Structure 1
Amino acid sequence: MKYFLLKAICEYLKENTHIIKFIRRIDNNIIIIEFNNKNIIYFDLSKSNSRIFKIKEQLSSKKDFNAPFDVVLQKKFTNSKIEDIELYNDDKIINIKVSSSSSYKKEILILQLEFTGKFTNIIILDENRVILEALRHIDEYSSFRVVKVGVKLEEIPKKDFIPKIEEIDNIEEYLYKVYEDIEKQNLESIKNQKITILDRNIKKVENILKSLPKKEELEFEANNIYTKANLILANLHNIKPYQKELKVENYDGKILKVELENMQNPSKYTNELFKKAKRFKQKALNISLEEDNLKDKLDFSKRLKDNLQNANTIDECEFLYPKKEKNQTKTKKAQNYESFFFEGYKIMLGSNERENIYLLENSKASDFWFHLKDRPSCHVIVQNSKKELPLTVIEKAATLCAKFSVDFSGAYEVDFTQRRNVKIQYGANVLYNPYTTTTIKI
């Protein structure tokens, strides 16, 4: 961090903080400090990119940190009175001096936050600057400046330079903006990562679609093989061992030359031809279904990409396209629907008629069903065992229903009711009553 920023933050803290009500580590290099009057500030002491910021909604801890550093940090500084805050040695080091009464006697402690490149660290000191704990311990083999419990902390060599000074009109606004910028960068990075993977999958499906044989070509090939098999079968008595070709008259009276491919057993070879022709015939019957399924998959992936591009938060990106577990591709069976998870609820979406029918036929009476009002849309089912759904889950499911059914932004009405109230007419066409309607903006 820049010197003038740390100086401005130091002055802000001196004017606006009197006690540390709460302190703990919430990420590997980030501590949260709640000063008086719920003034919460985050200190990120990452070596590559240290910063200080505020946010409007409190960040949750990624895991419980119980290292000796965390135990000492919370024990010594929670509910401590701030005696002084300064830029130590006029360098990029914030010293927060407190008086703590957590033990049987009052003691003076220092929380030293070092924003100094390779020395970036959080160090807990007593009033004689002896180290009680540190985020990063450094031994004598790694640096001349040892950071170990019980050792008096050496000073950082101060660089001889004149720091650039800039004025900051409102330091609190600046601290909020720091986090906004972090979130924007992280959001764009996550979007790019997920869209890159999605583009790869889209390209793969497009290539499969292009490589699919035409139905007419498969039927033509099947008929040719059937004709060849029947001609060989009708002339088995004329075929000599290891004969390479057979000249016969076809059903139209034309002389045809049939390649025999050095067959050893004409009867067995003929059976193999009939089986091969049958496979081509079956493939011709199924190719339309396979093509439709691939097109539905492609359409869903493109809609998912559009929704990712329009996502406003990292949470929304992770909801739409979560990271796969390492063993998920091996253990997860193919599903007849798309699935999402939100606040402990499983939300299932049918991206085509086949998937919609599957969801209707396999959902429970207590599940909730969602559909756009008075227009075609995907069907959405929320697994549920209670009478009601939380409003946040209703909104999320209705939003999914709209986002994967329409191509334009706007306000859309979505009907929802429990599955027991939905009567299947034919295919994915239904009648439902009673129901509730909610309006979603996308």
Structure 2
Amino acid sequence: MKYYLLKEIVGYLSEIAHSIKLIKRIDNNIIIIEFNNKNSLYFDLSKGNSSIFKREVEVRAKKEFNAPFDVVLQKRFYNSKIESIELYNNDKIINIKVNSSSSYKKLTTILQLEFTGKHTNIIILDENRVILEALRHIDEFSSSRVVKVGIKLDEISKQNFIPKIEKVDDIEEYLYKVYNDIESKNIENYKKQKITQVTKKLKKLEKTISLLPKKEELEEESDKLYEKANLILGSIHLIKPYQKSFITYNYEGKEIEISLNQEMSASTYSNDLFKKAKRAKHKALNIKIEKDNLEEKLEFLKRMVHNLKSANSIDEMEFLYPKKQKNQTKTKKSQQYESFFFEGYKIMLGTSERENIYLLKNSKASDFWFHLKDRPSSHVIVQNSKKTIPDRVIEKAASICAKFSSDYGGNYEVDYTQRRNVKIQSGANVLYNPYTTIGIKI
């Protein structure tokens, strides 16, 4: 960060910050400090990319941080009174000095936030500048400036230059803008990453579909195999052992030469051809179903790309297409539907008629069922064991139903009811009553 921005922020905090109500780490290199009454600032001490920002909605911690650094941070700064906030040594280092009372004595602690390139760090010091804890511990083999618990912190060598000073008209507005700029950049990068992952799967599926044998070709293959098998069977009494081929007439009366398999008898070879002909005929009957299912999966992936492009936050993209967890591949392959997780609820989406039928047959009476009003759509099931589900879950499930049933944005109506009120007519066709309708904009 630039020196003049840190100076402006220190001036701003010196005026408005009198106490620290809450302090904690919410990401590997980010801490949140709530000053006074819900005035929160975020301090990102990532090396080479440090920043300070504010945001309208509080960031949720990605996990619980319980390292020694976090324990000391809470113990020394939670509900503490601020004694001073300054730029230490007139460098790009913020010192927040606080006093907190324990059951034994008054404690003075310094939170040193270093925005100094390779030395970027968060260090907790006592009143004598002895290190109590640090975000990054640095030994004597890594740097001439050691950061270890129990030793006095060495000073950072000051740079010999005159910092450029600029005026920031509204520092709060600037802090919000910092976050918005960071978030916009992160969203674009994350979006590209997610879309690339889905597109890769999409192209692989397109290749699989293109390599599927055609129904007509399989039927033609089956007919040829049946004819050859019958011709061998009809001439079985004339074929001598170890004969490589024989001359006969086909169904059209034309003279043809039939080759034989030297590794088996003519009768065994004829039976083998009958089996292959039967398999080809069966495959021809099922190839359309297989192709339809794959094309519906392809359509789902295309809609996933469209929905990722329309997403406005990383949370939304992570919800739509979460990172793969360990051992997830095996589970996904055995799963006959797409699934999403939201606020502890499992939301299941059918992407084909086969998957819709599966969801209808395997859902419980207490589950909630969603479908676009008066038009074809995917079936969505929310697993549930109670009489109701939260409004936010209803909105999310209805949104999924609309997003993966239509190619266009707009306003849609989605009907929903408990599964016990849905009667299967045939396949995935149903009748349902009573039900509620919710309007969704996508």
TM over 0.5: yes
Task: Give, in whole Å, the separation in 1 of the partners of 2:361 and 2:131.
Answer: 66
After superposition, residues 96-115 of structure 1 pair within 5 angstroms as: 96-115=96-115
Quote the residue 1:48 is aligned against: 48
Shift of 1:332: 4.0
**Contact 1:76–1:102 (Cα < 8 Å) also in 2:** no
Give the partner amino acid of 1:116: T
Quote the residue 1:404 is aligned against: 404
**Contact 1:75–1:102 (Cα < 8 Å) also in 2:** no
**Contact 2:124–2:134 (Cα < 8 Å) also in 1:** yes
After superposition, residues 133-282 of structure 1 pair within 5 angstroms as: 133-282=133-282
CA deviation profile, 1:309-345 (whole Å, cap 9, x unmatched): 1011111111111112121113444222221111111
**Contact 2:21–2:37 (Cα < 8 Å) also in 1:** no
Give the partner amino acid of 1:85: I
Task: Give, in whole Å, the separation in 2 of the partners of 1:150 and 1:344.
Answer: 44
Quote the residue 2:64 is aligned against: 64
Task: Give, in whole Å, the separation in 1 of the partners of 2:192 and 2:297.
Answer: 21
After superposition, residues 411-422 of structure 1 pair within 5 angstroms as: 411-422=411-422
**Structure 2: which 5+ runs fail to align?**
none
CA deviation profile, 1:102-126 (whole Å, cap 9, x unmatched): 3522243211111111111111222
Give the paired residue count.
442
Give the partner amino acid of 1:8: E
Quote the residue 2:91 is aligned against: 91
Give the partner amino acid of 2:335: Q
Shift of 1:352: 2.1
**Contact 2:222–2:277 (Cα < 8 Å) also in 1:** yes
Task: Give, in whole Å, the separation in 1 of the partners of 2:130 and 2:263.
Answer: 92
Task: Give, in whole Å, the separation in 1 of the partners of 2:140 and 2:349.
Answer: 59
Task: Give, in whole Å, the separation in 2 of the partners of 1:68 and 1:217.
Answer: 69
CA deviation profile, 1:36-76 (whole Å, cap 9, x unmatched): 12111111111131111111122222222222222222212
CA deviation profile, 1:363-384 (whole Å, cap 9, x unmatched): 2211111111122212111111
SS at match of 1:307: helix
Quote the residue 1:437 is aligned against: 437
Task: Give, in whole Å, the separation in 2 of the partners of 1:154 and 1:103.
Answer: 31
CA 1:256–1:326: 2 relative to 1, 3 Å? same
Task: Give, in whole Å, the separation in 2 of the partners of 1:364 and 1:125.
Answer: 58
SS at match of 2:37: helix
SS at match of 1:40: strand
SS at match of 1:292: helix
**C-alpha RMSD of the superposition:** 1.6
Quote the residue 2:336 is aligned against: 336
CA deviation profile, 1:84-118 (whole Å, cap 9, x unmatched): 11111111101112222235222432111111111
Shift of 1:207: 0.8
**Structure 1: which 5+ runs fail to align?**
none
Q: Which stretch shifts more, 333-342 or 10-19? A: 333-342
**Contact 2:349–2:381 (Cα < 8 Å) also in 1:** yes
Give the partner amino acid of 1:155: E
CA 1:58–1:263: 2 relative to 1, 3 Å? same
Task: Give, in whole Å, the separation in 1 of the partners of 2:258 and 2:354.
Answer: 44
Q: Which stretch shifts more, 292-301 or 22-31? A: 22-31
SS at match of 1:238: coil
CA deviation profile, 1:20-46 (whole Å, cap 9, x unmatched): 122122222111111112111111111
Give the partner amino acid of 2:189: S
Task: Give, in whole Å, the separation in 2 of the partners of 1:27 and 1:407.
Answer: 37
**Contact 2:206–2:298 (Cα < 8 Å) also in 1:** yes
SS at match of 1:37: coil
Task: Give, in whole Å, the separation in 2 of the partners of 1:209 and 1:71.
Answer: 56
Task: Give, in whole Å, the separation in 2 of the partners of 1:150 and 1:81.
Answer: 24
Task: Give, in whole Å, the separation in 2 of the partners of 1:411 and 1:256.
Answer: 66
**Contact 1:345–1:382 (Cα < 8 Å) also in 2:** yes
Task: Give, in whole Å, the separation in 1 of the partners of 2:81 and 2:123.
Answer: 18
Quote the residue 2:320 is aligned against: 320
Q: Which stretch shifts more, 5-14 or 256-265? A: 256-265
Quote the residue 1:75 is aligned against: 75
Task: Give, in whole Å, the separation in 2 of the partners of 1:64 and 1:302.
Answer: 36
Quote the residue 2:366 is aligned against: 366
**Contact 1:241–1:264 (Cα < 8 Å) also in 2:** no
Quote the residue 2:382 is aligned against: 382
Give the partner amino acid of 1:360: L
SS at match of 1:179: helix
Instruction: Give the fraction of aligned pairs with identical amino acids, expressed as a percent.
Output: 71
Tell me if 1:36 matches 2:43: no
SS at match of 1:319: helix
SS at match of 1:296: helix
CA deviation profile, 1:376-412 (whole Å, cap 9, x unmatched): 2121111111111100011011111111112221111
SS at match of 1:147: coil
Task: Give, in whole Å, the separation in 1 of the partners of 2:63 and 2:369.
Answer: 35
